[in-house]
Structure 1
Amino acid sequence: MNAGVSAKLEVSDGAGNWLPVAQGSQPGGLLDLLGLFSGAATSAKIEGLGSGEYRFTLSANPTLVGVLTSATAKLSVDSQSLTDFDVTAARVTGNVIIDNGVDGTPDNTGIAHDATVAQVNGQAITPIAGESSIVQGLYGSLTISADGTYKYTPDAIAANVGKVDSFAYTLTTPGGGTASANLYVRIGSVDSSVTWSPTDPSAPGTVTVVATDDIGTAQIDLVPPVVETELNDITYSPPVIGSRTKEGDAFTVAADTSVEVAVSRSFVGLGVLPTTTIVLEKWDGSTWKPVPGQTTNDPTHTFTISEAGDYRVTSTTGALVSAGTITVTQTLHTTLLTEFVTGPVTAATGNVLALSDHSAADSLGSTLTVLSVLVGGAYVIPGQTGAVVHGQYGTLTLHADGDYSYVPNAGLPVADIGKVDSFTYKLTTPGGQEDTATLYVRLDSPDVDLVWDDAHPGNPGTEALGFAAASFEQTSFEEQSSHATITEGANGDDHIAIHDTEFAAVDGGDGFDTLAWDGGDATINLSLLVGKVSDIESIDLNDFSAVNLTLSLEDLVAVTAPETDRLFIQGDEQDSVQLTGNWSVGATQLENGQEYVVYTSQEDETHQLWVQSGVNVV
């Protein structure tokens, strides 16, 4: 094969796709055959491929190959069964008379030491010196001579591993003395772990294969549903003089919702489009008024609305002598804040054979033990891409080495959180010993505090007592009571502690007021508290739990007092603040002995967010 030629081995995933095989090759399944001298040959060997459909592809790099370069590949495939075995039966030799017996001593051959083997299992043994007789046992054949020398050849049957063949032999002397004993032949294997009885040589050995139940956990996020609505386009022509304003359709933002209005402006015509300003307006009961900070000159923009009311978008363009048409498209994305659906998922992964937090490692009993999984009523041995099993709530992919991945189905009902999917797998040794176990996969959620019963892993999860969700209310789980604890300080500086977000309302009033998170690890979207929290100057994320806080300029304005232009965030390295919208980071400032990093909104530079140093900001 010439230089500049490479080869790739791929396997079908059964769904029309070809996946690179990395085993025995370079990453991506590429067998590196570059850099060889012209006319040289090379070879590659890939071992351990599982069952499946494969393809082998040769390709040439035109920058490296020469004119009239050719390449030829010869492939050979050796297939090896995982369930049928070519057994090599090794002989065992010895002497029943002079070898030490079970008690550690050889046979007593009489005063003259002239005892010989006369019978084995009732069969006469030839007395002629140098000759031997063959006695058939249960699992092999014994060739034995009168002087006691023997060789035992086991039958080449894998299922006989762990068995004991027994031969009763009789010694006689010329003077008429007789004695009897047994020869026990244990059939073991270097590929299997056989445990033998220390006291009973006739007892069969035990090939211990133990499959232990396993527990995996998949995580499912709960998210508010988002409804998309297309409004009529705003379409108009620029004026020849002055400016022209065109109003879009009015729309209503209901309580317990937030809305994003995505606008996109385009122009078809001659000349350069003058400045066009798109403004979000709100109806105050008597007239339409611009919403502060909700104006853009950009061709695309998204307005965020968290307050209920009636709104519309207007577009204003300056004069243009030439003709043309301006079109502004409007798309509403309405988030229903009090409803929740299943969202992004995190797969459950692990290895059913290995030690885990919930189970001991499986005992294979043999290096040739095969794993199979129950699919449609039959056990299937995983191939190169694994065995795929469709469960009640998701799909399991189990590989021959025990590695697995379980992905919950998309769009599961919220009521399915807390359920358990289960799958049965089996371990089978070459000798036929087998054991089964169950992989239980829990459908958990970071947004629901569930308690699981490890002693009964098939049981669904139950809600933890005293739990209230960190950032949502879900009616399918029992609602717990919530409240805020207010500690009044001097000059109206109040400390308001909350352990969840289900309280009725919090109003800081006069003074410097702090809303303190007193719960555990949580993800909190401040927009969900708009309308419930007002007149606060600071949010304390505490120093004993990890809190992820999301907020926007609109949230900051909504929860602070009208005369306040900044909001303080306290916390530590466990906590994070996720800013939505356009913010710029400024200098570090000191306030009451604490160091803060100042963030300024680019939509309204009169408002700032002061975040304590050490808190992660993303």
Structure 2
Amino acid sequence: TAVVVGATVTGDYGTLIITAINGTTVNYSYTLEHNVNHATDATPFETFTVHVADSDGNVADDPSASFQIAIVDDVPTAVADTDSVTEDGATVADGNVITASGGADANNTDGVADTKGADGATVTGVEAGTVASASGHVGSAVAGSYGSITIDADGHYSYTLNNGAAAVQALTTGQHLTDTFTYTLIDGDGDTSTTTVEITINGTNDVPTVTVPQVGAPGTSVDEAGLPAGSASLTNSETTAGTFSYTNGDGASTVTINGTAVVVGATVTGDYGTLIITAINGTTVNYSYTLEHNVNHATDATPFETFTVHVADSDGNVADDPSASFQIAIVDDVPTAVADTDSVTEDGATVADGNVITASGGADANNTDGVADTKGADGATVTGVEAGTVASASGHVGSAVVGSYGSITIDANGHYSYTLNNGAA
């Protein structure tokens, strides 16, 4: 190209313009217009050749005098990013490590945009912790100390807190943990830059909770019938088993039941029986309860056992219901009267005796033909005697009651004596 003011020379990556000619001095400017792949281009520079010849045809000593314009490589610069999550709150943080833009979380990403450089840049590696250079795992979850992060090639990331981790749950208000990850940028010609994204985990003042069995659930009912004097003493109805559970607040919890520390084998004496802690699996407590005494359901306003569970964490926080209680109902055992028979003989043995409760015979010659009554766990006595068949008898206990052909006397303990009116027509 002829050297005149304004002449332009197009190079491989930009344009040279002749800006001035002062005698034999030529001024030029060069503008780079395209980036260079320094990793693959063997000549990352522009070359311009100057040819000078006089009017006689003589040329310069170096007929192909050249000069070069070097093209300095631009490189990416990764800048550290931060974000945050909250224990038992917003457990996901997202954004973009390259652009520093926030995501869908409530926290704006607290970071500075990376410099991608003239050759462009993408994420080429992600690793947990702080390392010199990260490789691999782009677009895949990388587990950290307290959660995991996924960063794609364009820089979008999402961090999910492992909210159930013991260290996380042990945090209280004003306490923090950090989870650090390293990512590496790479540009179009292989230049890299490495930095970190740090997630701050903000603690909250956790309060423990307790869950006790509700009425009708397993472990909330026993039956007096299973007591030694009960109507079904060969069963185990006087014993029941159940569970209650709790969640820790900040740190380990202290658990008591009716003031007794909850440990395997601990016994809690109730009004009518004993509760025993049989097993502890994490925060689930197994217990058994055995009824040992009958209850007077007629006079006792609370015919049940009440056990109160108290849970407090290491900070002194107590469960939302600090006196969560559960009840064990005590089913009333009832007596069962069974019909009895006996006999007398005209002009012979005119007296029959025995016991209507025990079905044992008396002094008469006839064995009582009956089945013993069931007294039940609360015991039973005769409370009424009447002639004939009635729905319910009352009074006359220990007194003679006249029947159609004789009279009978039955006392409170069931002993009876019947005397035949042998002279009756």
TM-score, structure 1 normalization: 0.25
Compare CA radii of gyration and give the structure with the larger one.
2
Q: TM-score, normalised by structure 2?
A: 0.34
> Which of the pair is proportionally richer in strand?
1
